[in-house]
Amino acid sequence: MPLLGTLALWLAFLVGLWGAITGFVGGAQGRADLQQSARHATLALLAALAIAVISLEIAIFRHDFSVAYVAGRTSRNLPTFYLWSALYSGQEGSLLFWAAVLSLFAVLAQVLTSRRHRAFLPYVAGVTSLVATFFIGVMLFAPANPFTRLPFTPLDGSGMNPQLQNPGMVFHPPMLYLGYISITIPFAFAIAALLTKKLDTEWMVAVRKWTIVSWLFLSIGLLIGMWWAYVELGWGGYWAWDPVENAALLPWLVMTAFLHSVMVQEKRGMLKKWNLALILGAWVLSIFGTFLTRSGVIASVHSFTESPVGYYFLAFLVAAVAACTVLYVTRLPLLEAEATLESILSREASFLFNNLLLIGLAFSVLWGTLFPIISEAVKGVKITYGVPTFNFVNIPLGLVLLLVTGIGPLIAWRRASTANLKRQFALPVTAGVFALLIFLVAGMRDVGALLAFSFGAFVLGTVFQEFARGARARHRQYGEPTWLAVFQLLSRNRRRYGGYIVHIGIVLLFMGFAGMAFKTETEATLRPGETAELRGRDGHLYSFTHLGISQYNTLNRYVTAALLEVKRDGKAIGRLRTEKRQHVDALGNKTFEPSTEVGIMSGLRVDLYVVLAGLVNGTEQAVFRFTINPLVWWVWFGGFVLVIGGLIVLWPGGPATGGTTPPRSQAGYAVKLEPAQ
Amino acid sequence: MKAGTKFALGAVLIIGSVGYLMASGIKQTGQYFLTPSELAQHVSTDPSFYDLGLKVGARVVRGTVSKDVASQTLSFHITDGTVNYPVVFKGLPPDTFTDSVEVVVEGRLQRDGVIHATNVLAKCGSRYEAVPKA
């Protein structure tokens, strides 16, 4: 199997090279035979990489410890569930996984793109093949070959890091990868458009769905990653501005900016240069993130170990940036805008500000991530840009962005009149001010949280008004009952109303983030029967009674579990268990350091979060950390809503004809954003 | 005033505030990240480095870790091979904290020559093969 895998990699490498050459040459010379060959090459590439992936999975499932990768990541007693994820739990395997997924997307791009955009396809095949070949090349030459054999066959593997043995870690990496990798498709189309000089809005229509696909997968990947950090790492939060997290957030921010500004181009023929730059930038950031997390340049709690792989990525990054810049600059004259900004009170302007804020956020995150290196190079001293600094910069920016989320949809395209503005803003502003007053009266004094709740109410007011007006219009015109009218709005104008659903998700996420301002925490050493108390900022007094310790063996670990009785204001609301796990190999020898399993009781208002820190001298006296995290549930629920909204936008099929198409000159809420499909 | 000019003003305002936030953010919350040798050198030339919030990256000296679980106090020595500092930390160390692990200690070096840590981060051992994000 390992031999077959290595052969498949070599085959993939050669096929990829061929695909890249035939794609570019075939496209440039207009030779149909070469173009056809490039298309076939993407298929062959997928087949070869699929064989490599299957070979590795077989080696993993057969416990073939003669393969270094298998011996280093798995063991005989690793639960089957995690054998699957072993494929991408290490450097070499994740490179293979990356290349394989890219080749799958490359084939989909060839197959699913409609006939109208055929001219781009040879170049798209060329770009995707080239990028895939790079990844395969790294595996073969860095070397980071997942099929490398050990000189001997160990009896057992060294096992998987316990922190990766969590359901979140099975789904989080593939989701994030799908997002990261699928950015290559819009990027390939952008390069194709630049090369063919077909720089009208056409190519963007071709890739619009792809950009939403990437954005959606990135969102899901980020959310599952946050959830994993929350339930597995045990420090009580879900986001720490770690370089690895930032690396995933950067392309997400840029893609979000693109999804908004692309509407301006479709509608008004403006921002062509900007949109193209965003797509190129998002892709470069995805490669940059890969470089960052694999090179050891930036110390991160969960980065890959230092390896020469980083240099390959750095070289690739530099070459790609240079090539993109040259290509972009030579095509700039073809990217003149067809219209100019007519008024600052227009949808266009609000999208521009939204973009500036998103890119500003991305820049501050990038700067903060690189700051230790920059400060060392410039001042000779390493200065950290820690969580407080990130929060200091990004919370205000995020709040303004939230405000703009509510403003944008209320302003008409081109130019909004004063009467129109009054009509549009009355309800949402009332909602925002009302929420502000309620929370002020309730005694909330945290400025950030107050603004988040107030702006959130404003955005919700905006979304509600949009739905209400749309539904009323349908009701008047077709006599549809409200529920049907809302459903029809969603299904006939998926992009716009799905987008509003995403906005609701964003508001809920911000509510959850704001909740973290009210976190309370205590640590206590308890004997069985003893109780610790902690008052949450929701006004309730929570008490935790230590019921006792149990120790037992299960699967691949020794478990020390503590059971706690939880009461709210003296009334029992349930029990929590938290564990310390010592993972062992098949012979019972300890592997890895003990890991913590957090006990969480999740609710709409607060999460009770308990960590067992250890036992005192092996007795049942135990040390706990108790945290009350308000509103965390809303982060996951907001994420869910956001994904649903994204799926609505993505649902196949164009808007049905025969619906209402109000004149464009009307207020923003009545304008359809879709071009004819 | 033309719309373009107004927009440019708005853009300058946004970019300016991003820059201002970043600059003042670092000023107010940025911390030095030093090795024990660098810290010793800075302290000897500039006593203002005492009681200054900073981070020190080093390795835990094997055999110096003592845990008092009841009072949740952890004390250990860190070194970069040349300079050695004792550290006192009240709180729960991360799972990955062990003898001779690489750590980042966040806290203040006090006049008694002891680093009073407010936070201890442990770099995962060599076997830690990462979360394959990105």
Closest CA in chain B for residue A364: B22
Nearest CB to A372; choose among B21, B33, B121:
B33
The whole-number pLDDT of residue B130 equals 37
Spell out the alpha helix ranges (H) of A142-201.
167-182, 184-196
Residue B127: closest CA among A126, A164, A627 = A164
Residue type, A126: G
- What is the rounded distance in angstroms from the CA atom of residue A53 to the CA atom of residue A55? 5
SS3 content of chain B, % helix, strand, coil (to 5): 30, 35, 35
Q: With respect to residue A359, please indicate whether it lies within any of the assigned structural domains.
A: no
Same domain, B7 and B48: no
Express each pLDDT in A403-435 by its tens digit: 999 998 898 888 888 888 888 899 999 999 999
Tokens for A183, please give them.
Answer: 């950015």
Residue A557: pLDDT band (50, 70, 90) is confident
Q: Are residues B106 and B62 in the same domain?
A: yes
* A531 is a domain residue: yes
Shared-domain flag, residues A9 and A109: yes
Same-domain check for residues B57 and B20: no
Question: What pLDDT band is residue A306 in, cutting at 50, 70 and 90?
Answer: low
Neighbours of A231 (CB within 10 A): 18
Parallel/antiparallel/unpaired status of strands A599-602 and A595-597: unpaired
Q: Does some domain include residue A361?
A: no
Domain boundary (A114, A136, A159) is at: A159
- Segment among A166-180, A271-285, A411-425, A581-595 with least mean pLDDT: A581-595
Same domain, A480 and A493: yes
Q: How far apart are CA B70 and CA A366, in angstroms?
A: 42
Contact residues, chain B, for A523 at CB < 8 Å: 72, 91-92
- 3-state SS, residue B108: strand
CB of B20 within 8 Å of a chain A CB? The answer is no
Using only C-alpha atoms, chain B has a radius of gyration, in whole angstroms, of 21
CB of B59 less than 8 A from some CB of A: no
Give the separation between CA A162 and CA A615, rounded to whole angstroms. 20
The rounded percent of chain A whose pLDDT value lies above 90 is: 48
Mean predicted confidence (pLDDT) in A525-549: 91
Cβ of B13 under 8 Å from any chain A Cβ? no
A196 and A134 in one domain?
no
Contact B33 A357 (CB under 8 A): no
Yes or no, beta carbons of B3 and A341 under 8 Å apart: yes
Task: Say if residue A579 is in the same domain as residue A642.
Answer: no
Residue A489 confidence (pLDDT) above 80:
yes
Say whether B129 and A90 touch across the interface (CB within 8 A).
yes
On whether both B20 and B45 belong to a single domain, the answer is no
From chain B, pick out residues whose CB is under 8 angstroms from the CB of A173.
131-133
For residues A557 and A585, the answer to whether their CB atoms sit within 8 Å is no
Q: Give the residue-averaged pLDDT of A110-139.
A: 90
If asked whether residues A229 and A168 sit together in one domain, one would say yes
Share of chain A above pLDDT 70, in %: 94
Chain B residues lying within 8 Å of A163, measured CB to CB: 95, 131
Question: Residue type for A132, please?
Answer: A
Number of Cβ within a 10 Å radius of residue A464: 15
Mean pLDDT of chain B: 80
Q: Is the pLDDT of residue A676 over 80?
A: no
Residue A618 clears pLDDT 50, i.e. is over it: yes
Residue of chain B minimizing CA distance to A72? B127
B25 to A393: CB separation less than 8 angstroms, yes or no: yes
Share of chain B above pLDDT 70, in %: 87
pLDDT tens-digit readout, A61-88:
999 899 989 988 888 888 888 888 888 8
Q: Please tell me if residue B18 touches chain A, with a CB cutoff of 8 Å.
A: yes
Which of A126-135, A303-312, A509-518 has the least mean pLDDT? A303-312
- A299 to chain B: nearest residue by CA? B123
Most B CBs within 10 A among A284, A285, A344, A379, hence the mutation to make, goes to: A344
Instruction: Compute the distance between CA of residue A514 and CA of residue A453 in angstroms, rounded to an integer.
Output: 8
Q: In the prediction, which pLDDT does A298 show?
A: 63
Q: Which two tokens stand for residue A358?
A: 């998103």
Chain A residues close to B46, C-beta within 8 Å: none
Higher pLDDT, A655 or A348: A348
Q: Is the pLDDT of residue A675 over 70?
A: no
Other CB atoms closer than 10 Å to residue A311's CB: what's the count?
13
Residue A523 has pLDDT above 80, yes or no: yes
Looking at the structure, tell me whether residues B16 and B38 fall in a common domain. Answer: no
Residue B131 lies in a domain: no
Q: Which residues of A touch B36 (CB under 8 A)?
A: none
| CB contacts, 8 Å: B24 with chain A | 392
Residues A58 and A128 grouped into a single domain: yes
Question: Nearest Cα to A625, choosing from B97, B94, B87?
Answer: B94
Other beta carbons within 10 Å of A436: 18
What is the C-alpha separation between A424 and A669, in angstroms, rounded? 9
Q: Do B21 and A293 touch (CB under 8 A)?
A: no
Look up the CATH number of the domain holding residue A254.
Answer: 1.20.120
Spell out which residues of chain B touch residue A616, defining contact as CB-CB under 8 Å: 69-70
Q: Is the dihedral of CA A245, A247, A252, A257 positive or negative?
A: positive
Structure tokens at A315: 């070289």
Q: Answer whether A340 sits within 8 Å of B34, measured CB to CB.
A: no
Q: What is the mean pLDDT of residues A269-290?
A: 90
For residue A348, the chain B residue with the least C-alpha distance is B7
Contact A281, A257 (CB under 8 A): no
Taking alpha carbons only, the member of A184, A172, A114, A220 closest to residue A647 is A220
In a domain, residue B127? The reply is: no
**Is residue A403 included in any domain, yes or no?**
no
Dist CA A175 CA A223 (whole Å) = 10
Query: Would the pLDDT of B50 be above 90?
Result: no
Indicate whether A177 and A297 sit together in one domain. yes
What are the strands, taking DSSP E only, across A537-674?
Answer: 541-554, 557-568, 571-583, 595-597, 599-602, 606-615, 622-630
- Please name which of A592, A94, A134 lies closest in space to residue A294, comparing C-alpha atoms: A94
User: pLDDT-based confidence at A661, cuts 50/70/90?
Assistant: very low
Residue B129 lies in a domain: no
Q: Residues A154-191: pLDDT tens digits?
A: 888 888 877 788 787 788 888 888 888 999 999 999 99
DSSP lists the bridge partners of residue A626 as A522, A610
In a domain, A397, yes or no: no
The answer to whether the Cβ–Cβ distance between A384 and B33 falls below 8 Å is: yes
Contact A290 B91 (CB under 8 A): no
Residues contacting A347, CB < 8 A, separation 6+: A264, A267, A408, A411, A412, A413, A414, A668
pLDDT value at residue B126:
37
Q: Which long-range contacts (CB under 8 A, 24 or more apart) does A372-379 make?
A: A372/A298, A372/A299, A372/B33, A373/A297, A373/A298
Tell me if B59 is assigned to some domain: yes
Interatomic CA distance for residues B46 and B39, integer angstroms: 10
B36/B95 same-domain check: yes
- Exposed, middle or buried by CB within 10 Å (0-12, 13-18, 19+), for A422? exposed
pLDDT at B124 exceeding the cut of 80: no
Mean pLDDT across chain A, nearest whole number?
Answer: 87
For residue A279, is pLDDT > 90? yes
| Residue A371 is assigned to a structural domain of this protein | no
Establish how many alpha carbons lie within 13 A of residue A68's alpha carbon, considering only the half-sphere containing its beta carbon: 12
> Do A500 and A623 reside in the same domain of the chain?
no
Residue A336 has pLDDT above 90, yes or no: no
Answer yes or no: do A261 and A321 share one domain: yes
Residue written as tokens 């959830």?
Answer: A227
Residue of A225, A392, A593 with shortest CB distance to B21: A392
Q: Which of A310, A336, A362 is the last residue of a domain?
A: A336
A345: in domain: no
Mean pLDDT (whole number) for A300-318: 71
Domain at A594, CATH number: 2.60.98
Claim to verify: residue B42 and residue B21 sit in the same structural domain: no
Do residues B55 and B78 touch, judged by C-beta distance below 8 A? no
Task: Please name the amino acid found at residue A484.
Answer: L
- The DSSP bridge partners found for residue B88 are B75, B116
How many C-beta atoms lie closer than 10 Å to residue A521's C-beta? 12
Interface contact A244-B131, CB threshold 8 A: yes
- The tally of domains found in chain B comes to 2
Residue B27's pLDDT band (boundaries 50, 70, 90)?
A: confident
Residues 6+ apart with CB under 8 A from A379: none
Total domains present in chain A: 4
Q: Are residues B57 and B115 in the same domain?
A: yes
DSSP secondary structure code for residue A569 in this structure: T
Q: What is the pLDDT of residues A490-502, one digit of tens each?
A: 888 888 999 999 9
Find the range with the poorest average confidence among A278-287, A652-661, B57-66.
Answer: A652-661
What distance in Å separates the CA atoms of residue A169 and residue A72, rounded to the nearest whole number?
17
Q: Residues A647, A649, A654, A658: what is their CA dihedral angle, to the nearest 10 degrees?
A: 120
Question: Is B26 touching A (CB cutoff 8 A)?
Answer: yes
Instruction: Tell me the two tokens of residue A290.
Output: 């890969």
Give yes or no: residues B8 and B42 share one domain: no
Length of chain B: 134
The pLDDT score that the predictor gives to residue A117 is 83
For residue B85, give the CATH number of its domain: 2.40.50.140
Taking an 8 Å cut-off on Cβ atoms, the answer to whether B132 and A88 are in contact is yes
**A364–B133 C-beta distance less than 8 A:** no
Q: Min CA distance, A180 vs chain B (Å)?
A: 7
**pLDDT at A551 > cutoff 80:** yes
For residue B130, being part of any structural domain is answered with no
What distance separates the 2 farthest-apart alpha carbons in chain A? 82
A665 has pLDDT over 50: no
- Identify the pLDDT of residue A669: 43
3-state secondary structure of A306: coil
In a domain, B63, yes or no: yes
Give pLDDT, residue A384. 78
Q: Do A371 and B26 touch (CB under 8 A)?
A: yes
Does residue A359 register a pLDDT over 80?
yes
Q: Which residues pair with A549 in a beta bridge?
A: A562
**A594:B130 CB<8 A:** no
Nearest CA in chain B to A69: B129
Together in a domain, B55 and B91: yes
* Sign of the alpha-carbon torsion through A448, A449, A454, A458: positive
Co-location of A506 and A580 in the same domain: no
Q: Which of A280, A305, A336 represents a domain boundary (last residue)?
A: A336
Show the domain range for A460.
412-515+634-670
Q: Tell whether A563 and A587 lie within a shared domain.
A: yes
Residues B36 and B72 in one domain: yes
My answer on whether B82 and B37 are in the same domain is yes
Taking the CA of residue B115 and the nearest CA in chain A, the distance in Å comes to 18
List of residues 6+ apart from A80 with CB closer than 8 A: none
Supply the range of the domain harboring residue B46: 31-122
Contacts of A356 in chain B (CB under 8 A): 11, 14-15
Bond into A143 cis (ω within 30): yes
Helix ranges (DSSP H) in A442-493: 447-478, 482-492
User: Alpha carbon A573 to chain centroid distance?
Assistant: 35
pLDDT at A458 over 90: yes
**Is the pLDDT score of A564 beyond 90?**
yes
Q: Residue A677 above 80 pLDDT?
A: no
Residue A122 pLDDT grade (very low, low, confident, very high; cuts 50, 70, 90): very high
Q: Are residues A568 and A586 in the same domain?
A: yes
> Chain B 91-130, CB below 8 Å of chain A: which residues?
91-92, 94-98, 104, 121, 123-130
Is residue A667 over pLDDT 60? no
Contact B33 A525 (CB under 8 A): no
Chain A and chain B share a number of CB contacts under 8 A equal to 176
B129:A342 CB<8 A? no
Q: Is residue A98 in a domain?
A: yes
Residues of A in contact with B38 (CB under 8 A): 381
Q: Do A247 and B133 touch (CB under 8 A)?
A: yes
* Residue A82 in tokens: 């995690």
Mean pLDDT computed over B102-113: 86
* Cβ proximity of A23 and A43 under 8 Å: no
Query: Cβ of A525 and B69 within 8 Å?
Result: yes
From the list B6, B21, B72, the residue facing A344 with the nearest CB is B6
Looking at CA atoms only, how far is residue A362 from chain B in angstroms? Answer: 11
B62 pLDDT band, cuts 50/70/90, is: confident
Radius of gyration of chain A (CA): 27
